[in-house]
Amino acid sequence: MKRLQHRNKLMPKPVRVLDKWFEVENNFFLELEVNSCYSVPGQFIQVGLAGVGEAPISIASHGDTLLLNINIVGRVTRMLSKVKPNEYVLVRGPLGKGYPLQSLKGNNLVLIGGGCGVAPLAAVLDYVCKNRQDFESVKCFFGFKSPDQVIFKKQIKHWAELVSINISVDKDLKLKQELKQLQDIERFINFEGFVTQALEQSFLTNNNIVAFICGPPIMMKHAVKVLKSKGFKDEQIFLSMERLMYCGIGYCCHCMINDLYTCIDGPVFRLDVLRSRPESGFE
Amino acid sequence: MLWCLQDSDLKNLLLAFAKHYNVYAPIDVSIPVADGKHVKRTIFSKVKSGLDLRNLNLETLPEIPVKHLFYPPVEVLFSIKKSKNVELVEEMPSIEKTLIFGLRKCDLNAIKRQDLLFSTHNDVWYLHRRELTTLIGIHCFEPLNSYCFCNSQELEDFGDLMLYELSNATKHWFFKAAEQLCKENESFANSNFNDLKINLKSKLYIVEICSEKGFELLSNFKKFFVKKHVSKMLGLNVSDLELLEVVKRLTPKTRVLKHSKAINALTPSDWASVSEQCLSCGICTCTCPTCYCFEIFDKEVKTLKGFETLRLRTWSSCQLQEFTRIANDFVFRSEKWERFKHRVMHQNIYFKQRYGKQLCTGCARCIVNCPVHIDWVGFINKKNLQGLGE
């Protein structure tokens, strides 16, 4: 597998698509022929198509290939969903700062993800499972709309062998018995309600532990509230922020959160950094 | 002795430059508007012949800065050839040697601050154009309009050549400088500071060489320049070089942006009140010499060989709602006060935190060109921010 290399920072590289599949409607996976071991979990790439444009997408793997999980929300993502294996996409990256896993060795981890926000945490889990001895207990709380909306099924089965996985669904918990496509992960879908409620009801010590959160802005806000009520300090909470991005290298200015650039200072920020920035929504 | 340029030689010099460079100078041009009417605008316009120079205007600040000469509104980043495989071809525009004449200190510093930004990001297109550009500045003794506020914006000496006008209209600045110099240095005592006795027959410009590029330019066009004993001309008994050093420090008495470090202390309702009239039109960012936000998108164009895809970079503006719009139509800075605040904060605080200098150089084009004349500097100055956030 080749490693991405660039001269001109705005110049992408054509990269071959190995596979593409849909697990649920309007959300698909792209597997690219690039080694994602060189990226830090939480980083993103700019992926695009000639004549269509680019979109920033979180890296959702840590291994021999690079996995992307993409929600179809706009023009670029719709066109990307039509790509077939062996075709080429244009890629720039990896970009941004990820979760500082190296410096968090020896900690307990709690990962909180909502919907497509599970993607950067998937890269974290790939890393953690490879380096399981570096971390104490690892608890995951993932939230989806309903059992038929659960994604990363294959990976969840694999991660569950090494870490604790709790999946909550906003509604229709009973539906899980009827669904064949769940591939033996229905036992992890154990809560009906928002993922933040599941988090609230769980027992978490606030000692020697860090939390990673990624999801829709409203979910992240609630998750922070719950963690604070459990005695977490701002320094123990890391969030993956979403903004509009073009350059990805810190000078088109679209992704600014006050003085911070999401693309180079983030997308992963420690909560105490966001506290003094009203535009983050965490003031 | 100092290098000088006689005002009568100025136009000939610019025409001589024009044989070797693309020369841009502040020129009054007539721009057609509705109903067959024309309006006069001072802009940096290309000098092609002596005719263009009839309307040379060194009295006002050109309405539009020169950033488009280095950072064009539309830039082709690369082209994409689609055959069997995708092939990316880096596009480097053909760039000619350029000379810009008549830049004020605010514009020169704006270029310096953009240099800092674009060199940090190794922006090949910008850096290539800058490398082939020579900058000739002209010193402001007086503010060019009542809105400028460069005095608070930490401007530095920058450029390749700098001109200082010496005429009956500006000679008192030289006497003031000499007086100051004598106070600082006793060996120059007994000079006569009475400027009334001196009558300068013609206007001339003292030329300061500020860089190697400037030295080379002056050497190549030496016949237009003369060396003069300036202080002797003025009946002063001081060193020419030291006199110029003091003259340089006589910056125009513009207003200032007070308590710029305390802008942070302004409340959302303050921002809402200053931006109440704002139309979010983006003219402030467009005519700003330092604003640089951009967008990247692909465009299919028809060429002789068929269709070709270009990846383009175009200017953008943080004043537009679209600027922070993401998937599902969510806009992060949806209120206009948030966008207005972001511009002022980025210009004066955020850029400084990252690069050590504020982006804003105090040219006040964002105020002068604003269709509803929002004077944000005046607004902030009226607020009592003394001691807050500093």
Domain boundaries, chain B: 1-70+94-256, 257-291+317-390
- Using an 8 Å Cβ cutoff, are A47 and A57 in contact? yes
CATH 3.30.1340.30 fits A101-240, yes or no: no
Cα angle: B129, vertex B135, B139; to 5 degrees = 150
Sheet of B74-82: strand order equals B86-90, B74-82, B306-315, B294-303
Query: What tens digit of pLDDT does each residue of B63-111 get?
Result: 999 999 999 999 998 888 876 677 888 877 788 999 999 999 999 999 9
ipTM of the complex: 0.87
Angle at B254 between CA B251 and CA B258, to 5 degrees: 115
- State the smallest CA–CA distance between residue A125 and chain B in angstroms: 26
Q: Could you say which of A10, A50, A253 has the minimum Cβ distance to residue B82?
A: A50
Q: Say if the Cβ atoms of B324 and A244 lie within 8 Å.
A: yes
Please check whether residue A43 is in contact with residue A14, taking contact to mean a CB–CB distance below 8 angstroms.
no
CA trace torsion B375, B288, B136, B169 (10° rounding)? -20
Alpha helix stretches (DSSP H) within chain B: 7-18, 50-53, 67-70, 105-120, 124-131, 171-184, 212-220, 230-233, 240-249, 268-274, 283-286, 336-345, 351-355, 365-368, 376-382
Residue B386 has pLDDT above 80, yes or no: no
Going by their DSSP bridges, the two strands B161-166 and B133-138 should be labelled as: parallel
What token pair was written down for A109? 């981890």
As a whole number, mean pLDDT of residues A183-203 equals 86
| CATH label, A13-94, candidates 3.30.565.10, 2.40.30.10, 1.10.645.10, 2.60.120.620 | 2.40.30.10
Can you tell me the distance from the alpha carbon of B114 to that of B243, in angstroms, rounded to the nearest whole number?
31
Chain B residues in contact with A90 by the CB 8 A cut-off are 80, 86, 88
Q: Smallest CA–CA separation between A154 and chain B, in Å?
A: 27
Tokens of A202: 């769980």
Please give the pLDDT value at position A1: 46
Instruction: Kindly list the domain boundaries of chain A, sorted by start residue.
Output: 13-94, 101-240
Q: Taking the alpha carbons of A48, A256, A228, A104 in that order, is the dihedral positive or negative?
A: positive
- Cis bond leading into A278, ω under 30°? no
| Count of CB atoms situated within 10 Å of the CB of B336 | 18
Q: What is the pLDDT of residue B90?
A: 81
Q: Which residues contact B179 (CB under 8 A, 6 or more apart)?
A: B191, B193
Torsion angle of the four alpha carbons B259, B263, B267, B273, in this order, in degrees rounded to the nearest 10: 90
- Strand-pairing partners, residue A19, are A31
- In chain B, what's the furthest Cα-to-Cα distance? 84
| Residues above pLDDT 70, as percent of chain B | 95
In this prediction, residue B362 carries a pLDDT of 92
Q: Measure the CA–CA gap between B310 and A11, rounded to whole angstroms.
A: 12
Does the distance separating the beta carbons of B293 and A14 come in below 8 Å? no
Chain A residues with CB within 8 Å of chain B CB = 8-12, 14, 48, 50-54, 71, 73-74, 77, 88, 90, 242-244, 246-247, 249-254, 256, 258-259, 279
CB contact under 8 Å between B85 and A88, yes or no, is yes
pLDDT (0 to 100) of residue B339: 93
Closest to A247 (Cβ–Cβ): which among B85, B296, B342?
Answer: B296
Q: Which of A50, A77, A253 sits opposite B86 (nearest CB)?
A: A50
Q: What is the pLDDT of residues B283-317, one digit of tens each?
A: 999 999 999 999 998 988 887 777 788 999 999 99
Q: A50–B309: do the CB atoms touch at under 8 Å?
A: yes
Cα gap A31→B68, rounded to integer Å = 41
